[in-house]
Structure 1
Amino acid sequence: MNNEAPLLRNHAKEKLSRGETVYSMTVRLVRTVDIASIAYTAGFDSIYIDMEHSSFSLEAAGQICLASNHLGVTPLVRVPGLDPSFIARVMDSGAMGIIVPGVESAEEARALVRAVKHAPLGERSLAGAAPQLHYRTLPADQVVRELDSASMVVPMIESQAGLDAVEAIASVDGVDMILVGANDLSVELGVAGQMDHPRVHEAYLQVIKACQANGKSVGIGGLGGRPDLIRKYLDLGAGYVSTGNDISFLSGAAAQKRQQFE
């Protein structure tokens, strides 16, 4: 057994394992590394770069991941779907984890694990010197151990089918956290935008119960405008909070500043 201290740390993953709350901001607008420093200065534990709902390039995402890693801000990337080759390229560019939207089965969750992790848990190709490890030249088995131990696998629940399969998804070995996408989920449940609707509440309770039974973390998404609901689900056992994105932060601050001059 190797007892050496790890070279690579995922600070968000460590906080979640200690039962501490992780606060994240989503990046959809800013394409430069400055956003990593802004997130750090603002006190965020994590950022997630949204490549599902943006025109982000892989190069820009990778540069922000690198900058975030140097600051101890955990960079996760939401990819458009379960494309193993693209997920591998995102991880090889410096991401510390992958978020996949709309997961609806345990098999899809296992496919995500296979795309993020190396053998024996996964099937990802070993790229060699990794940006997460500052391009150190290390034995292959150590690189695999470091990367796979630190990386996060995060399926999103955004549909009734996903809810129906959430217990099976939460039981998949290698899944670290399930993130509830309340916006799309509320649409799917027929209560679009009604974040305090009983059906949304029951969905959150269902995900929290499944994750607690399987030792997985729960992420709160889509509730950035409702801190009261965020607090409620944190009290019920959730651990990761997606607080909002850079577009809404900039727009909100700009509108507030303009109103000062009325």
Structure 2
Amino acid sequence: MTTETTPLLRNPVKEKLSRGEPVYSMTVRLVRTVDIASIARTAGFDSIYVDMEHSSFSLEAAGQICMACNSLGVTPLVRVPGLDASLIARVMDSGAMGIIVPGVQSADEARALVRAIKHAPWGERSLAGAAPQLHYQTLPADQVVRELDQASMAVAMIESRAGLEAAEAIAAVEGIDMLLVGASDLSVELGIAGEMDHPQVHDAFLHVIDSCRKNGKFVGIGGLGGRPDLIRKYQDLGAGFVSTGNDISMLSGAAAQKRKQFD
């Protein structure tokens, strides 16, 4: 029997990370149909994140994929282009279970992210009414707010010198769930583009992991999909969420491998 203390809405990714279990995510930049949710589930992914930063994805397509994921137990996250509160609210109202913001550089920006995702008293998001995450059930407004805010994730990407320097302050912001290291952009910023095993990249991961450990936040690994050895190393050091790569690279890699079978 459901009570006020028994949530109707679950976020499997938050639950697994809270238990110290690894979480594996696939980035979606190419596929615009709901089929990708079933493919991700069958492949064993815990999550997908729709990349609206580096694609031509529409809000409608992103929302349809999010709703399909929610029905299959695959946690849908969406990376938005930036701190646009109105867009973030619309993405959440379309079914996302969390927002990833690239290039967060300060605690103030992290607080702005939380305000955009959460309702009062944590944030400033408007209550849309019946929510797709709750399968459009008619529930008391206070319950809808509680369910959505407890289950949703606010993810700040660290991919610049400024963000790295502010990592501990960002991790200390109430309502931030995870810091996701974007190793690709960070390596470019550090002047060592693509050198994922460079000591500066290693030091950056150590700093973010330490900052999150001090503040009880999760750590995500991004940009290392081609280096499972490094992923395992940072998992052993405390990172939990792994962005494994995007559908374009996965399709391209599988297609090239298939073609070589006929040489």
Provide the TM-score with structure 1 as the length reference.
Answer: 0.99
Q: Give, in angstroms, the shift of residue 5 of structure 1.
A: 1.0
Where does 1:82-161 land on structure 2 (aligned, <5 Å)? 82-161=83-162
Partner of 1:252: 253
Q: Give, in angstroms, the shift of residue 3 of structure 1.
A: 4.7
For residues 184-221 of structure 1, the C-alpha deviation after alignment (integer angstroms, 9 at most, x for no partner) is 00000010000000000000000000000000000000
Partner of 1:189: 190
| Counterparts of 1:83 and 1:52, CA distance in 2 | 12
| Counterparts of 2:13 and 2:168, CA distance in 1 | 23
Partner of 1:80: 81
Number of corresponding residues: 261
Partner of 2:71: 70
Partner of 1:60: 61
Q: Give, in angstroms, the shift of residue 4 of structure 1.
A: 2.9
| Counterparts of 1:236 and 1:139, CA distance in 2 | 42
| Counterparts of 1:233 and 1:130, CA distance in 2 | 36
| Counterparts of 2:146 and 2:216, CA distance in 1 | 21
What amino acid is aligned across from residue 143 of structure 2 in structure 1? Q
| Counterparts of 2:27 and 2:156, CA distance in 1 | 16
| Counterparts of 1:155 and 1:4, CA distance in 2 | 29
| Counterparts of 1:170 and 1:213, CA distance in 2 | 8
Q: Give, in angstroms, the shift of residue 180 of structure 1.
A: 0.3
Percent identity between the two aligned chains: 82
| Counterparts of 1:148 and 1:31, CA distance in 2 | 27
What amino acid is aligned across from residue 136 of structure 2 in structure 1? Y
- 1:18 correspondence with 2:19: yes
For residues 87-107 of structure 1, the C-alpha deviation after alignment (integer angstroms, 9 at most, x for no partner) is 000000000000000000000
Query: SS state of the match for residue 241, structure 1?
Result: strand
Gaps spanning 5+ residues in structure 2: where?
none
Query: SS state of the match for residue 98, structure 1?
Result: strand
| Counterparts of 2:180 and 2:93, CA distance in 1 | 23
Partner of 1:168: 169
| Counterparts of 1:98 and 1:197, CA distance in 2 | 29
Partner of 1:50: 51
Q: Give, in angstroms, the shift of residue 244 of structure 1.
A: 0.3
| Counterparts of 2:60 and 2:239, CA distance in 1 | 32
What amino acid is aligned across from residue 257 of structure 2 in structure 1? Q
- Cα RMSD, aligned residues only: 0.6
| Counterparts of 1:214 and 1:222, CA distance in 2 | 24
Query: SS state of the match for residue 118, structure 1?
Result: coil
- 1:177 correspondence with 2:178: yes
After TM superposition, where is structure 1 displaced by more than 4 Å over at least 4 residues in a row?
Answer: none
| Counterparts of 1:9 and 1:238, CA distance in 2 | 22
Query: SS state of the match for residue 136, structure 1?
Result: coil
| Counterparts of 2:17 and 2:118, CA distance in 1 | 20
Gaps spanning 5+ residues in structure 1: where?
none
